[in-house]
Amino acid sequence: MKKHFSRVAVALLLLLLAAPAAFAAQSKPNIVIIIADDLGWGDVGYHGAKDIKTPNIDRLATEGTRLESFYSQPMCTPSRAAFLTGRYPMRYGLQSFVITPGQHYGLPTDERTIAQDLKQLGYRTYAVGKWHLGHSDEAFWPQNRGFDYFYGTTIGNVDYYTKETSGVSDWQRNGEYLDEKEYFTELITRDAVRIIEEQSGDEPFFLYMAQLAVHSPYQAPQEYLDRYKDIKDPIRRAYAAMAAALDDSVERVMEALEKKGLRENTLVLFMSDNGGIAGSGYSGTMKQVTGDKPAPADNGPFRGSKASLYEGGVRSVAFVNWPGKVKPAVTDEVVHIVDWRPTLLNLVGGESDGEKPVDGKNVWPVIVEGGASPHEDILINAELHRGAVRQGKWKLISRASLPTSVELYDLEADPGEQNNLARQHPDIAQKLAVRLNDYAKDATAALYFTEYMPFIKQDYKTSSLEYDGDEDSGQPGEKPVLPQQK
């Protein structure tokens, strides 16, 4: 009897000794990041969407903290890079345009990601959906950037059904190419739900769910198209249907967390990677899609479209939801997409590991306490030919390409950027121009131009372009090359 009691006592003692470690692991929140692609500011219900319904996104937003002055980068690749690294893309050459199918570069491998940080802190790390940070070399793939698991496409936008672009199919699970013809949003939603259902609860997990919706090509299942029969423009109708599928996807992920008993300890961050493609769009390619009709997105009161430096291109839908930890609130304090890495790491007891400076700030007090933004200013972007910076209520947009221009806006009085005040306030314009140039001095050559136009020498310190070499170098029309399809 004594021997039996002794064994029980020892077992209980061991359990008690182990409990703190287990509790510490379980006390760290799960983190679910949902990134919408090209979602217009005015295309969610809580921003007053008239013809698109997003009840699930709206509910999460209103039950959490809405970030009404959240800034992304102007396009897909730069925003994803900024989120994962916490560093402005101009520091490592991803500030201009996106990685297109025929290119061979990616997020430089010496850049550390939040997935690597969280993995080191005991998180299981998953990425599903769109990567768009390098596809031609496996070194750029998410599996080699801190993620234990990846399911989706490494190239940017693909056909929602065939997963093809430029004649090449790109759809994989952990490096194994797959032939799956179901709808993109459905496939990654099902996989995200499966991942949640398989969690044991003994280790925290980080799920990075990068949606392709509502990016072109504008495709949606008939059941979603049928919901919007009243929208006459077929492009806008398809866009609305894609937004509805995205909203249903969010609902299913939340339901999976609830069913698994993980919702109370899961922080959910929803954001768009940039503004929507609105008005005349941003390229000749969009004209080919819409003809003479306007591009489908609605950026609400803001001027501009995806790819522009105006608010319509860079002020994005964003909110944080965490039951019991984040109270319903709305904040207009400035938050930037580079802030998520230091904020989330601070929340879980970690810190950015590496010698490179992190541009992001810990904005958790902004989210949960209604505190002031920790930013003195934010860099919206710094490219060789253009750039923008915001400081307080003032925003400067500078274009170096001829004809040069300087635009200064008071965003508190003029969020639609209709009144250029550069001449009325030359001192403020000059001050912000100096700040923008200070940022630009730390920029490296844009990899997009380096690959497609290697004969151009990019000098950010003097804001000059020099021709050097063979003008016939770049190959912008080539097909994408994936490692197992060479």
pLDDT tens by residue, 185-220? 999 999 999 999 999 989 999 999 999 999 999 999
Instruction: Judge whether residue 12 has pLDDT over 50.
Output: no
In the chain, list all ranges with CATH 3.40.720.10. 28-369
H/E element holding 210? Answer: strand 205-210
For residues 145-158, give the mean pLDDT.
96
CB 328 within 8 A of CB 66: no
* Tens of pLDDT, residues 273-291: 999 999 877 666 667 777 7
* Tens of pLDDT, residues 242-258: 999 999 999 999 999 99
CA pair distance 460, 443, nearest whole angstrom: 7
Q: What is the pLDDT at residue 466?
A: 60
Which residue among 132, 215, 336, 375 is the active-site one?
A: 132
Q: What is the pLDDT at residue 473?
A: 41
The tokens of 347 are what?
A: 């929340």
Q: What is the pLDDT at residue 326?
A: 98
Q: pLDDT band for 457, please (50, 70, 90 cuts).
A: confident
- Whether 4 is catalytic is no
Which residue did the predictor score with more confidence, 83 or 452? 83
Q: What is the pLDDT at residue 95?
A: 98
Instruction: Judge whether residue 9 has pLDDT over 70.
Output: no
The tokens of 122 are what?
A: 């005991």
Percent of the chain with pLDDT over 90: 79
Percent of the chain with pLDDT over 70: 88
Instruction: Judge whether residue 119 has pLDDT over 50.
Output: yes
In the chain, list all ranges with CATH 3.30.1120.10. 385-440
Q: pLDDT band for 480, please (50, 70, 90 cuts).
A: confident
For residues 221-227, give the mean pLDDT.
98
Q: What is the pLDDT at residue 485?
A: 61
Residue 28 DSSP one-character state: S
- Whether 104 is catalytic is no
Q: For 98-204, where are the E strands, in sequence order?
A: 124-130, 149-153, 164-165, 168-169, 172-173, 176-177
Q: Which of 14-28, 42-56, 351-365 has the highest mean pLDDT?
A: 42-56
Instruction: Judge whether residue 36 has pLDDT over 70.
Output: yes
Task: Write the class of the CATH domain 28-369.
Answer: alpha beta
CA pair distance 253, 270, nearest whole angstrom: 12
Closest CA to 392 of 97, 20, 69: 69
Burial class, 220, CB count within 10 angstroms (exposed 0-12 / middle 13-18 / buried 19+): buried
Instruction: Judge whether residue 297 has pLDDT over 90.
Output: yes
Closest CA to 339 of 319, 358, 361: 361
Q: What is the pLDDT at residue 283?
A: 66
Q: What is the pLDDT at residue 215?
A: 96
pTM listed for this prediction: 0.91
Residue 32 DSSP one-character state: E
CB 210 within 8 A of CB 35: yes
Beta bridge partners of 408: 396
Q: What is the pLDDT at residue 468?
A: 53
CA pair distance 398, 382, nearest whole angstrom: 9
* DSSP H helices in 348-474: 364-369, 426-440, 447-452
Q: What is the pLDDT at residue 437?
A: 96
CATH pick for 385-440 out of 3.30.1120.10, 1.20.810.10, 3.30.450.40, 1.10.150.170: 3.30.1120.10
The tokens of 173 are what?
A: 């699970």
Which residue among 76, 135, 215, 375 is the active-site one?
A: 76
Burial class, 477, CB count within 10 angstroms (exposed 0-12 / middle 13-18 / buried 19+): exposed
| Distance spanning both ends of the chain, measured CA to CA | 70
Q: What is the pLDDT at residue 152?
A: 98
* Tens of pLDDT, residues 376-434: 999 999 999 999 999 999 999 999 888 999 999 999 999 999 999 999 999 999 999 99
Which residue did the predictor score with more confidence, 11 or 149? 149
Instruction: Judge whether residue 481 has pLDDT over 70.
Output: yes
CB 168 within 8 A of CB 485: yes
Q: What is the mean pLDDT of the chain?
A: 90
